[in-house]
Amino acid sequence: MPQIPLEPAYADQEKQFARAFAILRAGIGEHVMPGATIAVTHGGRMMAWEAFGRFTYDPESPLVRRETIFDLASVTKAVATTTIAAILHERGQLNLNQKVHEHFREFRDGGKSDVTIAMLLSHSSGLPSYEKLFQRCRSREDLLGSAAAAPLAYPPGARSEYSDLAFILLGEILTRIAGEDLDGFAAREIFAPLGMTTAEYCPAPEGRQEIPPAQDDREFRHRTIQGEIDDENASVMGGVAGHAGLFANAYDLALFAECMLRGGAPILKPETVQLFTNRRAAPYGTSFSLGWDTPSQPSQSGTKLSARAFGHLGFTGTSLWIDPVKQLSITLLTNRTWPHRQSQAIKQLRPAVHDAIVEAIPHDEI
């Protein structure tokens, strides 16, 4: 049984969230994504939990169900990796001001000796946003070494630039500190206490057909990617990485969101949640906190969440936004990368859905 109970209150969801649901259905018709699920919590109640579309655009493909599991992609960074960092920090095992080179000896040259763990979390380390390390690396160790050897794109702390490489290194640092792989730690310390029964890395082969495919990969793995991690760098790392790898359904992310809205209990203290979710004061103009993003203009969160909201996006078309002022969370899971990754139409759909959801909740309740 979930340790974070959510009172079901979605009997009238079709009426209350008609506009948001219409946007999602229109998006499927316009091939923004073949399928989606959404979960909305407000004031401790599950206000919406619905499924839309099919696994692919084939009219014979399976229907997406409310319980359907998706590849969360970079939402992993927030729900798993950042939460692990917060737990270790709270326990006194992780020093946010510690230098990264204390864990990676090769991480010294070109200004790297100034990079701290907090800079990895806040995307201000100077590391590049993304590199196709999988093209030259064939093992987890090779890929970690290449990530650590990547030259900085800008001086540490000079500006913010979202970086997969930062979280690849962060995930390994957390693994070394915890003395345990990320998947095992997260399962015991996050997912089990919150009752997140579908959240896992590396779904078992026998269950992969129940997960919508992410893409028809004709360049790297030369097969349909279904029930295994879509991200190529994470794939080389065995599916368990700091930047990607987690799978779950929308209900489980709603349970996680409710935990954060309630101050982190039973896995974190309120002051830890506040530390990790408050927007950083520097670098100037950043929208990042520690491991989370916050609303900016323009923002994928839409225009109606409060300035204290925090959230994260995933490349496969997933997102989670949490607003402690409005006591609201919105989970949107899609496989917008099917069959290929070119379309960016999700960037128009997602904020429109968020705005429609906020508008559907009476103002006196938020």
> Residue with structure tokens 């960037």?
347
Kindly give the pairing relationship between strand 328-334 and strand 35-42. Answer: antiparallel
Looking at the chain, the whole-number percentage of residues with pLDDT higher than 90 is 95
Distance CA 251, CA 97 (A): 35
Helix axes 164-178, 83-90, angle to 10 degrees: 40
Tokens, residue 350: 């997602």
Distance CA 324, CA 41 (A): 11
Label residue 145 by pLDDT band (50, 70, 90).
very high
Please classify residue 185 by burial: count the beta carbons closer than 10 Å to its beta carbon, then call 0-12 exposed, 13-18 middle and 19+ buried. Answer: buried
- CA distances to 6, 112, 340 from 217, rounded to whole Å, are 38, 35, 8
Distance CA 210, CA 347 (A): 26
| pLDDT tens per residue, range 97-134 | 999 999 998 898 899 999 999 999 999 999 999 999 99
Q: What is the 3-state secondary structure (H, E, C) of the chain?
A: CCCCCCEECCCCHHHHCHHHHHHHHHHHHCCCCCEEEEEEEECCEEEEEEEEEECCCCCCCCECCCCCEEECCCHHHHHHHHHHHHHHHHCCCCCCCCEHHHCCCCCCCCCHHHCEHHHHHCCCCCCCCCCCHHHCCCCHHHHHHHHHHCCCCCCCCCCCCCCHHHHHHHHHHHHHHHCCCHHHHHHHHHHHHHCCCCCEECCCHHHHHHCCCCEEECCCCCEEECCCCCCHHHHHCCCCCCCCCEEEEHHHHHHHHHHHHCCCCCCCCHHHHHHHHCCCCCCCCCCECCCCECCCCCCCCCCCCCCCCEEEEECCCEEEEEECCCCEEEEEEECCCCCCCCCCCHHHHHHHHHHHHHHHCCHHHC
| pLDDT tens per residue, range 297-309 | 889 999 999 999 9
8 Å CB contact between 139 and 236: yes
Distance CA 42, CA 329 (A): 7
The pTM of the whole model exceeds 0.85: yes
- What are phi and psi for residue 316, nearest 5 degrees? -75, -5
pLDDT for residue 1 is more than 50: no
Distance CA 276, CA 101 (A): 22
- What are phi and psi for residue 155, nearest 5 degrees? -60, 140
- In words, the CATH class of domain 7-75+187-365 is alpha beta
pLDDT for residue 288 is more than 90: yes
Residues contacting residue 212 through CB under 8 Å, at least 6 positions apart: 34, 35, 55, 56, 64, 68, 70, 226, 335, 338
Tokens, residue 29: 């018709």
pLDDT for residue 201 is more than 70: yes
Looking at the chain, which residues constitute the CATH 3.40.710.10 domain(s)? 7-75+187-365
Looking at the chain, the whole-number percentage of residues with pLDDT higher than 70 is 98
| pLDDT tens per residue, range 210-223 | 999 999 999 999 99
pLDDT for residue 2 is more than 80: no
pLDDT for residue 3 is more than 70: no
pLDDT for residue 4 is more than 80: no
